Amino acid sequence: MASTNIDLAKKLAKRLREDLAAAGTDIPHSLALELIAHQLAAKDWNVLSATLTKSESPTPAAPEISRAIPILRVMEMATALPFYADYLGFTLDWEHRFEPHMPVYAQVSRSEAVLHLSEHYGDGSPNGVAWVPVRDVYALHRELLARPYASQRPGVQPDAPGGPTMQVIDPYGNVLRFAQPPAPPRE
């Protein structure tokens, strides 16, 4: 029944009426529709029509999901921003407060990486983890080693599960794992 559409069912009803008329039996179009509905195992024409209309409705496209943006909990933006901007090279895109002296919610980004930093109590807890893909983790490693930041001397783990990975920890214990995913195999 699902492969039959309403137009085809109506054409079948018209053809049935014409064939019966040629044999000497006239029936109204509504009876021909009911007979076609019964032939297609529907209770009546209204049920068949509703079923076919429903099956012909376009299937909605699956919602497109974009990259996730991790929210990292920080206690004071004044301490977090120098780490993300001066040390990691992120740019402060914007920051928001509901009122003066309220917690700050901010966005920082670098290339395609976007992170949200939040002083809000309900936005998680310190010690979160964000996995950040990078094209060349070794170049980023050299860049960070050239910057003065006393508490950080990250290394690169070449055989990490997501590819060579460098782990950096922010002042509030949030872990950023910069990983260079393996190149896809060439065909």
CB 120 within 8 A of CB 103: yes
pLDDT of residue 1: 42
First to last CA, the chain: 44
Can you say whether the dihedral through the CA atoms of 15, 21, 22, 25 is positive or negative? positive
Residues forming a β-bridge with 118? 73, 105
| CA 66 to chain CA centroid, nearest Å | 4
Q: What is the 3-state secondary structure (H, E, C) of 41-59?
A: CCCCHHHHHHHHHHHHCCC
pLDDT of residue 57: 56
pLDDT of residue 2: 42
Q: What is the pTM for the complete model shown? A: 0.65
- DSSP state for residue 123 in the 8-state scheme: S
pLDDT tens-place values along the chain, 187 residues long: 444 588 888 888 888 888 888 888 888 888 888 888 888 888 888 888 888 776 655 677 788 888 889 999 999 999 999 999 999 999 999 999 999 999 999 999 999 999 999 999 888 888 899 999 999 999 999 999 988 776 778 889 998 888 999 999 999 999 999 999 987 777 6
pLDDT of residue 46: 84
